[in-house]
Chains A and B, each alone.
Chain A
């Protein structure tokens, strides 16, 4: 099971901060079925110290909507007395780009999303984060504890090496259930999102070579209906 690429960047950034001595411990968290342990082992092989899996049964996987994930992560952040939560800016399956923002709101913490650079001042308990926004780069200063979501250009994650993969097998993965964090995924009232339809875009039709501008105008007007 491959780690979401933005999450890989988040794990890498946390580990780099630990290597610089700015933070003490990196805890990798995943939420999902038992197989998510593989992803957590990769995080441990990259250098995370320990991991937590919030395990759900396959039937409940669909219930892990962004708001539910945010609520579960809030429970863990509080339990672990975290100073910083790093998330990938979005998952590449649903592309929601919501969880980090919701988590910050639930925790009532500052947030800096789409980070392309993070400079931590551990002593001052604050961070300077450069964000990639439509207009260019924006730098914000946030107080810790805070939520940061990571964008592509923040770093290039390291590869897990065989010795580290071996060591990771011995690092602890704690397994929790949603009810341990006060949530009942089976309760329909907890759901906010219903997938109504998923469909592929229409098949591309072949192009045609036309003989004249008049023919082109005719097609644009009568077939493509754009004139």
Chain B
């Protein structure tokens, strides 16, 4: 170990290598890895090593079969669903309880070994990459639905429960959990990343859905935040702080969630448009008319083509909107009529309706598979996803900008989006070994983010920061706010053990 400085080496290396914000390269380029200067940090740093003594200690906590250094398992735990290069941890552990997690954290902290919480590995910006090595704590075996209070419409689940598992559990209760990102992800991961989905326009995101968490802090203490009350004015909102902290402040082991009633009537529709602007303007007017649409999703013609090929649908090859309406039968009919009137005034074609559950499921499954459909356009490719979110009145401008820049560079880049929230994704489908292509993609992405921030938006509506979006944070938040984040992180995690190299890691230049 390299000595006993008060501040851990990685932060000193960050200062030495310069703030990541000045560096705009993609994964694979050593400069990105200088976030905690991985090769240097692993060799000579104030972080401890995962040695046999630690492994034995970890085994004594969770059992021999729940600790592994198997190369394949390590690689899997350092990888997510993005273009970012996998960065495996040194060991993976599988706790069975909050108490286990607490002991694991204490054992690692005593030896200054980094910790990376892991749900299902479906993140999109290298969230689980073990930039400084360490121990991956895989929460998947905390997979119990603990309590469902139908009378108060809330529940409590362990962090490893997936959203599909929860909804299956609830399916005859009259309630459902609406946050639906495209993947099969864990509730703990969704809380840690402040996830969102296609239902956000009506039902909100994890920001609103999480009532409280049980979490293990870097100092080894277990806290239980929030209460089952729907509102509270009592103290700092630790729940809101932890939700979206991406494993840098706490390891979430349990989540209390708000549930919603199953809608009485549901109908879904697909509408093709003669232009991108027409489709997006329809969305804007729908939102500005305060029609409580449950889902409103945009797919450009490139994405529609990808979806048709992948999911065997037969959608018209035009910019398209997918809608879903929830409510009483009368309300659904009324909303549908209002929206179709707006759509036809912007060049919308005829609506294709689906009411039967299996038809609607097929439609939304096709939408949810958009990313995989896009990847399938180019075998052996990886995805770099833009995730800008802007005030709705500026959305058409941003989407048209994206289309134009893509057209000029001739990239394979379908566009899909939760346009009702002002959020859209450009799915840049890249050959990860083609540096020239990656550079072109970067330029377009940077341009979109800069525009989004300039109109009061954000670089990440829902995919989070991981380490891929760190370079954009200063222009979005400003130095002072980033310093405030770093101060919080330093207070909660002075040894910088929890998912180091990600958000909260900022050193003044």
Contacts and interface: CB of A to CB of B under 8 A. Distances in A.
B361 A163 contact: no
Contacts of A158: 357
Contacts of A155: 356-358
B263 interface: yes
A161 B172 contact: no
B408 to A, nearest CB: 44
Given A3-B172, A42-B172, A45-B174, A161 B261 contact: yes
Interface string B220-263: 00000000000000000000000000000000000000000111
Residue among A157, A161, A163 with the most chain B CB within 10 A?
A161
A36 interface: no
Interface in A138-174: 155-165
Nearest to A165: B174
B111 interface: no
Nearest to A39: B172
A194 interface: no
Given A3-B172, A161-B174, A165-B174, A156 B264 contact: no
Interface string A1-38: 01100000000000000000000000000000000000
A165 B176 CA distance: 14
B171 interface: yes
Interface string B338-362: 0000000000000000001110010
B384 to A, nearest CB: 35
The interface size bin for chain A is 10 to 19
Contact of A156 (B172, B175, B357): B357
B361 A159 contact: no
Contacts of B176: 159
Contacts of B358: 155-156
Contacts of B172: 2-3, 42, 45, 159-160
Contacts of B263: 161
Nearest to B328: A163
A38 to B, nearest CB: 9
A161 B264 contact: yes
Contacts of B264: 161, 163-164
B331 to A, nearest CB: 13
B361 A162 contact: no
Interface in B88-110: none
A161 B262 contact: yes
A77 to B, nearest CB: 25
Given A2-B172, A165-B174, A159 B356 contact: no
Contacts of A165: 174
Residue among B171, B356, B361 with the most chain A CB within 10 A?
B171
A163 B261 CA distance: 9
Contacts of B171: 159
A156 B174 CA distance: 16
Given A2-B172, A3-B172, A165-B174, A160 B357 contact: no
A160 B356 contact: no
B90 to A, nearest CB: 20
The 5 closest A-B pairs by CB, nearest first: A156-B358, A156-B357, A162-B174, A159-B262, A42-B172
Interface of A: 2-3, 42, 45, 155-165
20 contacts: A42-B172, A155-B357, A156-B356, A156-B357, A156-B361, A157-B357, A158-B357, A159-B174, A160-B172, A160-B173, A160-B174, A161-B174, A161-B261, A161-B263, A161-B264, A162-B174, A162-B261, A164-B174, A164-B264, A165-B174
Given A2-B172, A156-B361, A160-B173, 16 more contacts: A3-B172, A42-B172, A45-B172, A155-B356, A155-B357, A156-B356, A156-B357, A156-B358, A157-B357, A159-B176, A159-B262, A161-B174, A162-B174, A162-B261, A163-B264, A165-B174
